[in-house]
Amino acid sequence: MWLDILYVLIGFVLLIKGGDFLVDGAVSIAKRAKISPMVIGLTIVGFGTSSPELLVSIQAALSGSSGIALGNVVGSNIANIALILGTAAIVKECVVQKMTLKVDMPFMFLVSGLFVGIAMSGTISRIAGIIGFLLLCAFIIWEIKHYPAQTTTEEDEKEPMPIWKALIVVVLSFGALVYGSDKLVEGASNIAKSLGVTDRVIGLTIVAVGTSLPELFASVAAAKKGQTDMAIGNVVGSAIFNILSVVGISAAICPIENSNVGFLTDYICMVALSGLLWFFLSTKQTLERWEGITFVTIYAGYIAFTVIFS
């Protein structure tokens, strides 16, 4: 028990400091490269913090259990929008650029809808997976070429670190986030088991949230530092990456069979949250605190519903 508590504490420390240093390194890269922090959030931060989901899904595909990728991706995207971005908005209201509303949000909503449509057909084929991954590559290239640079932030007066140092910080921060989330989930799961909590409930709560902890701490750290563009970019980038890359690569390895009818509620929830986020951001180009509270409340209700009725 004491070792598990130590794991939980170590996990929290690594997540907090990893998210903090990740934002510093990512911001420095954005400034040195003269590109928007939003692009860094959509690419480096968003994709890097989704590495736990990617590793889990690839491992499942290689072991012949590629259907796990569906629940992994859907659950992660729901947590990313409702829990993670909701928490970030509570910490600090998130202002979004017009380009995000015109391009990134519609694209996220579109790929979410396409994913649900293909998944509900019964099988996500290798060809669909490869096309999804190529679509992601095209999206990244477009973002880098067309996104306007933005350098007006609260920390502009600070000299950004050299690019080589920033890259090292980012890589080490990713390592801290992944290792920290792993130890936290391991410790929390063992504690829950010792208290008599079932594996099903542990999987739906601790493990589901645990794989999204890197995004949570990276987004909250970005919001606290005034990099709300990066916080939004992290969540939007992770959602897009989860669908086009995690599912894409998993399906390319082994076609994903969707035989679980219970996923329908989760699909609806994921697409509905994507639409609600787009609506909230469209009103004032800001995700306000009350909207963040709304998202977190929805997530709590979703977890309660899943635990009770699944």
pLDDT in tens, 185-217: 677 767 777 877 655 455 556 666 666 777 777
CATH class of 38-153+199-309: mainly alpha
288 or 265, which is more confident?
288
Identify the pLDDT of residue 205.
Answer: 62
Q: pLDDT by residue (tens digit) across 50-96?
A: 666 676 667 666 666 655 667 778 888 898 899 989 999 999 898 88
Q: Please say whether the dihedral angle defined by the alpha carbons of residues 301, 304, 306 and 309, taken in this order, is positive or negative.
A: negative
DSSP 35: -
pTM for the full predicted model: 0.76
Please list the residues that pair with 124 across neighbouring strands. 256
DSSP 197: -
DSSP 186: H
Task: Judge whether residue 42 has pLDDT over 80.
Answer: no
Identify the pLDDT of residue 104.
Answer: 87
The residues, ordered by sequence, that sit 6+ positions from 90 with a Cβ below 8 Å of its Cβ are 289, 292, 293, 296
Identify the pLDDT of residue 71.
Answer: 72
The C-alpha atoms of residue 195 and residue 100 are separated, in whole angstroms, by 45
E strands along the chain, which residues?
94-95, 123-124, 256-257, 286-287
The C-alpha atoms of residue 70 and residue 246 are separated, in whole angstroms, by 9
Task: Judge whether residue 280 has pLDDT over 50.
Answer: yes
30 or 104, which is more confident?
104
Identify the pLDDT of residue 154.
Answer: 47
Identify the pLDDT of residue 11.
Answer: 74
Mean pLDDT, the chain, rounded, equals 78
Identify the pLDDT of residue 38.
Answer: 67
The C-alpha atoms of residue 255 and residue 250 are separated, in whole angstroms, by 7
Where do the domains of the chain lie? 38-153+199-309
Expressed in percent and rounded to 5, the helix, strand and coil fractions of the chain are 80, 5, 15
Q: Please say whether the dihedral angle defined by the alpha carbons of residues 185, 25, 50 and 301, taken in this order, is positive or negative.
A: positive
Task: Judge whether residue 155 has pLDDT over 50.
Answer: no
Q: pLDDT by residue (tens digit) across 99-146?
A: 888 888 999 999 999 998 888 887 888 899 999 999 988 988 888 787
What's the average model confidence in pLDDT over 214-240?
Answer: 79
Contact 160, 166 (CB under 8 A): yes
Q: What are phi and psi of 280, to 5 degrees?
A: -60, -45
Identity of the highest mean pLDDT range in 3-17, 218-232, 294-308: 294-308
